[in-house]
Structure 1
C-alpha cells in the first residue's frame, strides 16, 4: 500500500513513525498526497539538497490543470507560475527583493528587533503566569518586524493574519483562494497608498519603480508579508519548545550566551513535520537514487527529514545547542534559498538572547506531548505554548 500524507505524529517534537520507517528504507519514496495524488517524497539530505538547486525541477507545470496537488492551498498546493518563463520570472523577483535584505540593511534592523523583543518579553514577564509564549512573543514579534520593513500598518495585523491563515488552508481550496484574494486586494490598496505618500519601506520602493506594475508590487509584497511572519512564528514557537523540552539545552544557553548563534541554526534544523515537503514539478525525465522521475511528476522535498538524516547529522533526533548545524536545509538551498533567511535569524537570535537574559528559569507549564500543532494550514506550528518561570 502506498503511504498517505500527512503522517500521524505522536507529539509536536516527535517524528511520525511511518516517516521514520520510510527514511530507514531509503531516500526516495512513492507516496500519495493529502488529496490522494501520486508524488515522490524525497527524505535524504544529499538528495534534497541536490534537488533544491536542480533546474530540472520547478514550481510551474506544463499542464497545470492536470498536475498532481500536494494540498488544497492556493499558495503552494499546486503549480505556480508560467512553465516557459519560470526561471526568468524567478530571477526578476529575486532581483527586485534582494536589495531589501542585504547584510547592511539587516544589521541596521537588528537593534530595532532586539528592542521589540525586549518589550514583548517584558510585557509577558509582568503579566499572569502561566503565559502563552505563542501569543505573547512568537506571533507579535514577526508581525511587527515585517510590518515595519514592508510599510504595512501594524493596526491591520488581525485582518491580514486572518487572511494569511485562510490562504494557507490545505483542506479547502475555495476558502484558500478567497483568503489569497483578500490578501492581494489588501496589497493593491497599500501600493496605491504608497504611490501617494511614499516612505522608506519595501512597498514604497516597489511602488516607485517604473518597471513594476501595481499587480506585481502587490503580489511581491503580500508574498513577503505571508512568508515573513507565518514561517517565523512557527520557527520561534517550535524552537523555544525544543529548548524547554530538554531544559539542559536551555540551561546551557543561559550559562553561555555565546552559544546562541549556533543554537539558532540548531533550532532551525530540529523541527519535524508530518512528511509534507517543498513541492516541485519535474520539467524533464530524470533519475535520482534509483527512482525514475517522469516529466510532470510532483516531487516533495522533505526538509525536516533531510535535516534528520543520520548521514548528515550525528544523533539527529537530539536537539544539541553545541552542534555545528550549518548544513541544515531549513531555508532551502541554491537558487531558491529563502531571501528572508537573514531576517529570520536576527529574530530568532533576539528571542533566544532575550529569554535567556530576562527569564533564565523559563520552563514549560505543561508536558510537551500535551501541546498541539495546526494540521489545517500550510505552515503548521503550535496552537499555544504555555510557559512559566
Structure 2
C-alpha cells in the first residue's frame, strides 16, 4: 500500500479533512510518510486507537517523536529527552511519578470547586466585552482571557505575565515558527516559572506553591509542570471556546435548544469537544519493540500518528458521526486522548466551557457574526485548532 501524507485541508471549518474518513473505511491503519521522509503509520479507527493508547509497548517519549506535519517549532524537543516536568513526553516510571503528584489536584470535584471563580471571571470578561461595544473580537476579549485568568489563578501565576506567556505559547504551538524561536520561547517560559518557584518559602497562592511545599518534585520539575499546564491550559480552552461559539452561531437550531434548556450544557460541551476535536493532527506513539498489530508488523521506532479527528468521527462508535447532536451518547470520545496520557486538565476545560458558553448568549442574546463565515480566520497554522479571531456583533 502506497504511504499517504496526513491530510490537512478542510472543506468546512467544522469537519476534518474528508480523506480521513476514506482512509478509515479502506484501511484504518496504513503507511504514512512524514515530512522528514520517515515512513510510519496513520491510525483512523476508534478501536485501534484505544488499543495502541492503552498498550505500554507504544511509547510517548519525545526521543522517538516525529511531527506528522511540517513543524519546525517541534525540532528542539522531538528527538531529544523530555524536558524536566514535561510528563507528556515521558513513559513510566517517570510519567507515573509526575502524574501521581498532579492527578488528585485536577479531579472533577476539585474543578467543580473552581466554578464560583470561573463564573466571576466569565462575568468580568463579558463586562469588558460589553464596554468595548460591537463589533468585537470574541477571542481576544473573551475566549483567550477566560482560560488565561483561570489557569493563572490555579497555578499562582500573576496575570500581569499574560502577554509574555501567551506570546511564547503561541510560538510553541505555531507551525510556522522556526526552531530557534521555539527554543527561545521555551527557555523564556521556564525562566518565568523558575522565578515564580525558586523560593519555596514564597506562597504564590496556587498549585506551584503547593507542589513546592510538598517537596516531592525538584525546582526544575515544578517549573516544567508549570510551563506545560500554563501553555496547554489556556491554548486548548481558548481554541475550544472560540470554535464552539463559531459553531453555535453557524447552527442556530442547536443554539436555540441550548438557550431553551440550560441543563443540556453538559452533554452539549461533550458533543462539541467530540465534533470539533481541536488537537487536529492527532497524537504520536512509537513501538518500543516489533509489534504484530492488525495484520501489520509495526517495527521498533516507526512513528504512529493517531488521528483524533478521524477517531471521533468513527461511525462504528458514533452513529451519524458527522452530525452535531446534543442528544448523542458521547461516552468514549477521545478529544482528550485516551489511556495513561489522557489530558490531565480535561475537567478544567469542561468546567470552563460549561461556565462560559451559556453566559455568552445570556449576556448577548442577539450575538451574531460580524463578518461572513468564510472570512473567519481558522487556525490551520497552529497545532491546536480554532479561530484566530471571531468578529461578533450584538
Partner of 1:318: 323
Q: How far is 1:204 from its partner?
A: 0.6
SS at match of 2:132: coil
The one of 146, 150, 153 equivalent to 2:155 is: 150
Given that 1:68 and 1:298 are in contact with CA atoms closer than 8 Å, whether structure 2 keeps it comes out as yes
Alpha-carbon RMSD: 2.3
Q: CA deviation at 1:272?
A: 5.0
* Secondary structure class of the residue paired with 2:276: coil
Question: Which of 253, 256, 260 is residue 255 of structure 1 equivalent to?
Answer: 260
Match of 2:373 in 1: 368
Query: Which residue of structure 2 aligns with residue 184 of structure 1?
Result: 190
Residue 251 of structure 1 contacts residue 360 of structure 1 at CA under 8 Å; is this kept in 2? no
- Tell me the CA shift for residue 4 of structure 1: 2.3
1:123 corresponds to 2:128: yes
Three-state SS of the structure 2 residue aligned to 1:39 is: strand
Segments of 5+ residues of structure 2 without an aligned counterpart are 84-89
Is the alpha carbon distance of 1:256 and 1:304 closer, same or farther for their aligned partners in structure 2, counting shifts above 3 Å?
same
Secondary structure at 1:374's aligned position in 2?
Answer: coil
Question: Does the residue aligned with 1:29 lie in a helix, a strand or coil?
Answer: strand
Kindly indicate whether the alpha-carbon contact (under 8 Å) linking 1:374 and 1:382 is maintained by their aligned counterparts in 2: yes
C-alpha contact (below 8 Å) 2:169/2:231 kept by paired residues: yes
User: Does residue 1:302 correspond to 2:302, yes or no?
Assistant: no
Q: Distance in 2 between matches of 1:121 and 1:303?
A: 32
Does the Cα contact within 8 Å between 1:262 and 1:321 map onto a contact in 2? yes
Distance 1:363 1:288 in 2: 49
Count of residue pairs brought into register by the alignment: 384
Equivalent positions of 1:144-293 (< 5 A) are 144-171=149-176, 172-193=178-199, 195-271=200-276, 276-293=281-298
Q: 1:133–1:385: 8 Å Cα contact kept in structure 2?
A: yes
Flag the 1:341–1:80 CA change in 2: closer, same or farther, 3 A.
farther
Q: Which is further off, 34-43 or 200-209?
A: 34-43
User: Does 1:104 find its partner at 2:105?
Assistant: no
Deviation at 1:139, TM superposition (A): 0.4
**Which SS does the other structure have where 1:226 is aligned?**
helix
- Shift in alpha-carbon separation, 1:273–1:22, aligned structure 2, 3 A: farther
Q: Which moved more, 1:340-349 or 1:38-47?
A: 38-47
Q: Call closer, same or farther: CA 1:147–1:217 in 2, change over 3 Å.
A: same
Determine if contact 1:187/1:221 at 8 Å carries over to the other structure: yes
1:90 to partner: Cα distance: 0.6
CA distance in structure 2 between the partners assigned to 1:42 and 1:309 by the alignment: 11
Partners of 1:67 and 1:257 lie apart in 2 by 42
1:28: which partner in 2?
A: 29
Counterpart in the other structure of 2:10: 9
1:285–1:225: structure 2 CA closer, same or farther, 3 Å change rule?
same
Which of 333, 348, 353 in structure 2 is aligned with 1:348? 353
| Unpaired segments ≥5 residues, structure 1 | none
What's the secondary structure of 1:87's corresponding residue?
coil
Task: State whether residues 113 and 347 of structure 1, in contact with CA within 8 Å, keep that contact through their aligned partners in structure 2.
Answer: yes
Tell me by how many angstroms 1:22 deviates: 1.8
Is residue 279–residue 383 contact of structure 2 (8 Å, CA) maintained in 1?
Answer: no
Match of 2:72 in 1: 72
CA displacement at 1:69 relative to structure 2: 4.1
Moved over 6 A (4+): none
C-alpha spacing 1:200/1:80, structure 2 compared with 1 (3 Å): same
- Equivalent-residue separation in structure 1 for 2:121 and 2:280 (angstroms): 34
- Alpha carbons 2:138, 2:390 under 8 Å: kept: yes
In the alignment, is the contact (CA less than 8 A) between 2:10 and 2:16 conserved in 1? Answer: yes
Structure 2 distance, partners of 1:7, 1:101, is 32
Give the corresponding residue for 1:336: 341
